[in-house]
Amino acid sequence: METPVSLMVILLVFPVGVLLFLMASLSRKKRYATLQFTQGIEYIKLLRNLLTYVQQHRGLTTGFINGNQGAKVDIEALAIKVKRTIDDVDAAGDWMRENVKWSSLVDHWTRLGAIYLQGDADKNFKQHNFLIANLLYLIDDVADVHHLSKITGDAMDTDWRYLLSIAEYIGQARALGTGVAAKGECSSVLRIQLNHLRNKIASSVDSSWPDKSRAEIQQLLRCIETQLVVDRPSIQAGDYFSLATRCIEHVLDQFDRQIDRLQYYRN
């Protein structure tokens, strides 16, 4: 018995149609994944800049409260950079604009920006820490939602999210140390805090990092030990802030390198 022509057509066309549908569906999913990834990288780079500025703001305002009045011009300039970066993040996409954590963070910054003028160093430091912790949580969310991950296989690779934690250890040490240097004295509480952060930083340094990076971080550790957590701190606030800032930049250079590698291998 011969197979009707119409049935033969169906038997031939249907599998082809299913195959084309699956191919189109996979193509759409791939385009969507690429778009998500690209958007995530843009968010990460902007949030990295915002993190840098807020950390600097914490350090400079701590110094200001403790007597470094000359920092006010730099503090005001940083506030402008923070505002511009927040606007850039808002403009980057709907996902962030509709994110509750982001809205909360922006609201917190609005209230935090001028809190240093109240003159309470401890409150200023803790509020900055809280905001930065939430910013790091948001970066984690971006990485998870937009499928960003660590590139493996290279001995020099470190999880880029961990690098931000190391930068934050140094950032906290920069803020507290700048305050100590500006005030010219180090309380027992601050000694404990600075020694704790010093140990955190020391245990985080990677032997594979460039020699210059490791050398300046070691210089910072010696400075904390010999010029800050002593009876008479012997380094100027501006000099200490600059040294700690260079150390943070070394760590963030490693971070930027990881993000560039992530983009390279994804593309």
Domains contained in the chain, number: 1
Amino acid of residue 86: I
pLDDT digits (tens, 9 = 90+) for 58-89: 999 999 999 999 999 999 999 999 999 999 99
Establish if 6 belongs to a structural domain: no
pLDDT tens digits, residue range 171-196? Answer: 999 999 999 999 999 999 999 999 99
Identify the residue whose tokens are 């066309």: 13
| Within-domain flag for 25 | no
Residues of the chain with pLDDT under 70: 1-34, 149-158, 265-267
Residue 21 within any structural domain of the chain: no
Domain that residue 90 falls in = 44-266
> pTM score > 0.75 for this model?
yes
Structural domain includes residue 15: no
C-beta atoms surrounding 208 within 10 Å? 12
Per the structure block, which two tokens stand in for 102?
């982001």
Angle in degrees, CA 56, 58, 64, rounded to 5: 100
pLDDT score for 159: 80
Q: Is 67 a domain residue?
A: yes
pLDDT for 57 equals: 98
Q: Is residue 32 part of a domain?
A: no
Asked whether residue 8 is domain-assigned, the answer is no
Q: How far apart are CA 105 and CA 190, in angstroms?
A: 27
- For residue 12, tell me if it sits in a domain: no
Task: Provide the pLDDT for residue 146.
Answer: 86
pLDDT digits (tens, 9 = 90+) for 150-170: 544 443 444 888 999 999 999
